[in-house]
Amino acid sequence: MTQVTPQLARSAWGSLETLHVVAYFAPEVQQAYDRFGVPATRAGYFAARSSAFGAADPALVVATFYVFSPDLVARAVPAVWAAGTPEEWAAARRDAVAAALHRVLGEPDVAEALELAREACAGLGAAGRPLYAAWSGADWPEDPLLQLWHAGLLVREHRGDGHVTALMAAGLDPVEALVTGGLASDSTDFVRTTRGWSDAEWTAGEQRCRDRGLVDDGGLTDAGRALRAEVEATTDRLAVTGWAHLGANGTQRLVELLAPLRGRLLASGLLPDWIRARG
């Protein structure tokens, strides 16, 4: 094996992603955010994820997070910066993730996996990747398991920036992206209830998708499935860079090393059903 294919790159991302998404679902993380006392919905998510920018303006969060309602963002930002500094929000997430990962996984030996993951991260580039660029300057944690999570953060944000590019190239605005993406991944209920769009905004987005022939009463049409496949294929192509730097053998080895950790997290009940279903 000499070439990193988009499919192999996607598999490696998925392996690290299972560790990274603990930050979005572990009760330890929400409890850490609650201590800041900001009542706005998803305040901690916006604060911690954007903290690498510094005290980000709401418009910057809207631009880089893409699929969230500007009204939802505005209710949380900049209120979160009055409750804590960006560094405090980032530390709260980091420490809570460490607690959650060690609760589920214990003290696994991740030395080889970490070496490979860090080498992949060394091949990532910042051009056109604003969220990744911001996080690329953050210090690596000291705890090895948390370092592996941090590698997942860098890979996720690099890939996510490319995904936004792919959505825009496909002509999908934020709500259209959620409507079609939710149907494609069986996560409609989750994205509809967490991204902050009103019923009227959601219905209007669905209608735009219908007008484009992407959605009908049965869900995604053939055209809709083809467009979502194009978005994912573009995202995959744009995300090969770091894995190409690591090389195909190293990338495949990382997938193998992460499989037991990934399996334990998926079996733990910590993650929602739609993530567990996609394996």
pLDDT value of residue 93: 98
Is 97 a residue whose pLDDT tops 80? Answer: yes
Is 279 a residue whose pLDDT tops 60? Answer: no
- Tell me what the mean pLDDT of segment 100-112 comes to: 97
- Tell me what the mean pLDDT of segment 211-225 comes to: 97
Average pLDDT across the chain, whole number: 96
pLDDT value of residue 1: 45
* Proportion of the chain above pLDDT 90, given as a percent: 95
Give per-residue pLDDT as tens, 29-43: 999 999 999 999 999
Give per-residue pLDDT as tens, 176-217: 999 999 999 999 999 999 999 999 999 999 999 999 999 999
Is 69 a residue whose pLDDT tops 90? Answer: yes
Band the pLDDT of 12: cuts 50, 70, 90: very high
Residue with tokens 């930050």: 23
pLDDT value of residue 273: 74
Q: What is the pTM of this model?
A: 0.95
Residue with tokens 């334990």: 264
pLDDT value of residue 37: 98
Rounded to whole angstroms, the Cα distance separating 250 from 168 reads 32
- Tell me what the mean pLDDT of segment 225-252 comes to: 96
Rounded to whole angstroms, the Cα distance separating 104 from 101 reads 5
- DSSP secondary structure of the chain: -----HHHHHHHHHHHHHHHTHHHH-HHHHHHHHTT---STTHHHHHHHHGGGSS--HHHHHHHH-SS-HHHHHHHTTHHHHHS-HHHHHHHHHHHHHHHHHHHH-S---HHHHHHHHHHHHT---TT-HHHHHHHTSPPPSSHHHHHHHHHHHHHHHHHHHHHHHHHHTT--HHHHHHHHHHHHT-HHHHHHHS---HHHHHHHHHHHHHTTSEETTEE-HHHHHHHHHHHHHHHHHT-HHHHHH-HHHHHHHHHHHHHHHHHHHHTT-S-HHHHHT-
Band the pLDDT of 25: cuts 50, 70, 90: very high
First to last CA, the chain: 24
Is 170 a residue whose pLDDT tops 50? Answer: yes
